[in-house]
Amino acid sequence: DVKVTQSSRYLVKRTGEKVFLECVQDMDHENMFWYRQDPGLGLRLIYFSYDVKMKEKGDIPEGYSVSREKKERFSLILESASTNQTSMYLCASSPDSYQETQYFGPGTRLLVL
């Protein structure tokens, strides 16, 4: 079974803090994704990576950065957290083909105070 894990299920941070969200997959997938999920807005792509050290901006990259130093690990960084970044963050991975499904992690619910 494909396993995608995220470092925290729940996180509470203060405005201005630097926040790291980590995602690890165990299936040697080339592609990894970070989404945020907000009620009524579905899933919106923040960044994705199609290979180690490679990244592409998604639809809402502002205020976020990512790092992929190893194939199995994809980190989302909030350089200076703001209250409007309070959300559910979902990580996903997939093999390198658009025919393939994405496998999702359990999500991290982030609250920025």
Partner 1 sequence: AQTVTQSQPEMSVQEAETVTLSCTYDTSESDYYLFWYKQPPSRQMILVIRQEAYKQQNATENRFSVNFQKAAKSFSLKISDSQLGDAAMYFCAYRSFTRKSTFGDGTTLTVKP
SS3 of residue 83 by DSSP? helix
Residue selected from 89, 107, 110, 112 as contacting partner 1 according to rule CB under 8 A: 107
Q: Which is nearer to partner 1, 45 or 77 (CB)?
A: 45
Site for partner 1 in 15-44 (CB under 8 A): 31, 33, 35, 40-44
Question: Count of alpha carbons within 13 Å of 80, Cβ hemisphere only?
Answer: 1
**Which burial class, exposed, middle or buried, applies to 95 when counting CB atoms under 10 A from its CB (0-12, 13-18, 19+)?**
middle
Q: Which stretch binds partner 1 (CB under 8 A): 17-25, 67-75, 79-87, 98-106?
A: 98-106
Q: How far, in Å, CA of 12 to CA of 84, rounded?
A: 13
Binding positions for partner 1, rule: CB under 8 A: 4, 31, 33, 35, 40-45, 48, 50, 56, 58, 90, 92, 94, 96, 98-99, 101-102, 104-107
